[in-house]
Amino acid sequence: MKPMNCPFHILIYKDQLRSYRDLPVRLGELGTVYRYERSGVMHGLLRVRGFTQDDAHIFCTPQQIEDEVIGCIDFAKAVLDTYGSPSSRLSSPPGPQRPQPLRGQRGAMGAGTELAEEGARRAGYSL
């Protein structure tokens, strides 16, 4: 989970008037990306020119974060179990490596991260 900075999903969300009662709103897509990557920079792939990646965002209230995280974990686990993937683990990434301007309410990112981590713990994962 990371702070959202995807302009296109924000534009889709803003396209119509919404109420807090509409939340959570879940948006996802598969998009093909074409790039000129050097050999090895895409986790060992050779000279990747195009690849498809997934992108998803959840617009929700702070009170909904834990349940949404649990729902995402349950979904990912169901997909991995379907394909016989071995057990998985979660980790919480460190904060930004370089100073970035703070957006939104001060402290909201930290509070959101704590709620997401609590959701992961409720789903049975330790971070």
CA distance 119 to 109: 15
* Separation of alpha carbons 92 and 90, rounded Å: 7
User: Residue 115 pLDDT > 80, yes or no?
Assistant: yes
Comparing CA positions, the residue from 13, 17, 123 lying closest to residue 59 is: 13
Amino acid 45: pLDDT: 57
Q: Please say if the pLDDT value at position 31 is more than 50.
A: yes
Whether the CB-CB separation of 40 and 87 falls below 8 Å is answered with no
Looking at residue 1, its pLDDT comes to 45
The token duo for 57 is: 């965002």
- The alpha carbon of residue 107 and the mean position of all alpha carbons in its chain are separated, in whole angstroms, by 19
| C-alpha pair distances (Å), 18 with each of 11, 25, 59, 63, 95 | 13, 10, 11, 18, 31
Q: Which amino acid makes up residue 118?
A: E
What pLDDT score was predicted for residue 29? Answer: 86
| pLDDT at site 24 | 94
Average pLDDT over residues 90-101: 60
For residue 86, what pLDDT is reported?
A: 77
- Token pair 């704590």: residue: 114
